[in-house]
Amino acid sequence: MTWGVSFDGVGRQAKYRIGYDGKQTDEATLAGIRLLGSTGHSFGLICVVTSAHVGGGREFMETVRHFEGLASVKLLPCYDQDVSVRPRATASGKLMQLYAGDRDGRGDRPGWTISPADYAEFVEDAQDTWISSGAWRRFSLEPTASIASNLSGLEGTYTDYSLTKDGQVLTLYPGGRVAGHDRAHEFIVNETTTDRIGELLDAQLAQADADWAPFLEECRSCSVWAGCRGSELFMRKVMRDAGLSNEFCDARRTIVSSVEQLLSGSQR
Ligand code: SF4
């Protein structure tokens, strides 16, 4: 168990990370990050890569690479193709209210959604800086580390790039509540209690097997299977429904190939 901090960077990169008052939270989060480091705690950062990050992989890595106590950075793509923009009484509802007119020009897709190609470029730039600055000696970077593990004959630990699939993931909440993957709305059973974890897992696995396992059939002949491991399957469904399967897989091939090059460069 370790601390995890959601942090998308500062300034323009934090555009979509806001509080209930509609203001960016980057300064307050930075204060928390400094407090963690100064008190000797190690922590991981989770960055949701949105359209505000396009072209900013190096900038993001320059922001975070000197943080004291930083143990890991995870770069998650914001593929919100299935999210409809509607105000709700939550921080994300506030976000939708503020940016309801902020579309990317492709249908109803919210403006913060990033394209697979832009996400791949962000990851490549971030990992280049991670390597060239020597930051790789101090903290890990995902998806790079899991892809490198996969290609080296070990298994990655990041579910998006591992053989652990959506149906096997559990999320624990305060008060003894248990849900599946944080996209649990994809599952028939949304939530349960700690004494019924077995039933939840059985239901999830059965559904994942029936609904999503066929996606893995498409991976059998793919050239990057050894590094990619087929993605999170709900994401495959979201991207297929949005007509973006090819774009999605092209981006993953780009990322896996870039890690292959890093590995071959390190062996010379
Ligand atoms: S790139 Fe697409 S088809 Fe290839 S292994 Fe990954 S998810 Fe499967």
pLDDT tens readout for residues 51-66: 999 999 999 999 999 9
CA of 220 to the centre of ligand 1 (A): 8
pLDDT at 225 over 90: yes
Domains of the chain in start order, with CATH, are 1-142 (3.20.20.70)
Q: Considering only CA atoms, which residue is closest to atom 2 of ligand 1?
A: 249
Span from the CA of 161 to the centroid of ligand 1 (angstroms): 10
Q: Confirm or reject: Cβ of 249 under 6 Å from ligand 1.
A: yes
Does the CB atom of residue 222 touch ligand 1 within 6 A? yes
17-21, 216-220, 261-265: which has the minimum mean pLDDT? 17-21
Residue of minimum CA distance from atom 3 in ligand 1: 219
Compute, in angstroms, the gap from residue 15 CA to the centroid of ligand 1.
31
Answer yes or no: are the C-beta atoms of 138 and 130 closer than 8 Å.
no
Residue 118: pLDDT band with limits 50, 70, 90: very high
**Interval between CA 116 and ligand 1 midpoint (Å):** 13
Counting every residue written for the chain, the total comes to 268
On the question of pLDDT at 27 being above 60, the answer is yes
Q: Which pTM value belongs to this model?
A: 0.87
Q: Is the pLDDT of residue 36 over 90?
A: yes
Nearest CA to ligand 1 atom 7: 230
DSSP per residue over 203-261, as a string? HHHHHHHHHTHHHHHHHTT-TTHHHHTT--HHHHHHHHHTT-HHHHHHHHHHHHHHHHH
Please work out whether the CB of residue 230 comes within 6 Å of at least one atom of ligand 1. yes
Q: Which two tokens stand for residue 134?
A: 């020597």
The closest of 10, 22, 179 to 93, measured between CA atoms, is 22
